[in-house]
Amino acid sequence: MEAQKQTKPILLFDDECAVCRHIAHWVQRLAQTKSGDTPIIERPIGNDPDLLLALNPGLDIWEAYETIHVLMPDGSMKLGGEAVAEVLRNIPATKWFTGTFAISVFGFRPFQAILNFAYAALADVRPLFGCESCGTPRFWIRPIHWMITRTKAIFADRRNPRPSPHFTPISATRRRLLAAPSERLPQAPNL
């Protein structure tokens, strides 16, 4: 299989992860122009391993599952917060503030560092959102994960499985049946 020359960045995401899937759909919605074209391509990993190897033979699929990857048209790869910044640069609605990621103070890019930290925190908490493909939560997340699962177990049996009935006015017949026995109307004799 021969790889075609890509002219757009390709966002590789884990389609088994609910968080990654929602973010990829958000990117797809926001990146689409009025003509239907998108400046970035979303590509789920795992559906076609041969295509993934054709895109970048050095890409380890397990690393791609662990963190977000953006394959640039020149063949370079951006990971984590750098990949998120690249995705935001390619979305017309978010392009206006992405210049802040390039601001450097004595060689340190503070806004990019904040984005890197935010991505690392999101990657750590993905298992809390019910994503089984993201593996087990990191050490610092495990107490939170334990509390959430315990809380669900405690309150799971208290939920009403049936939807609550809508309010409907009591009909005259039902009002008569609910009335005290002395107030009930006489019934017709059985024949």
* pTM of model > 0.85: no
- Residues 37-69: pLDDT tens digits? 888 887 887 666 777 778 888 887 777 777 888
| pLDDT band of 2, cuts 50, 70, 90 | very low
Domain coordinates in residue numbering, the chain: 10-153
CA–CA separation, 73 vs 87, rounded Å? Answer: 13
pLDDT tens for each residue of 67-99: 888 988 888 899 988 999 999 998 888 888 888
| N-to-C CA span, the chain | 86
H-assigned helices in the chain: 18-31, 49-55, 61-66, 80-89, 110-125, 142-156, 172-178
Q: How far apart are CA 179 and CA 151, in angstroms?
A: 42
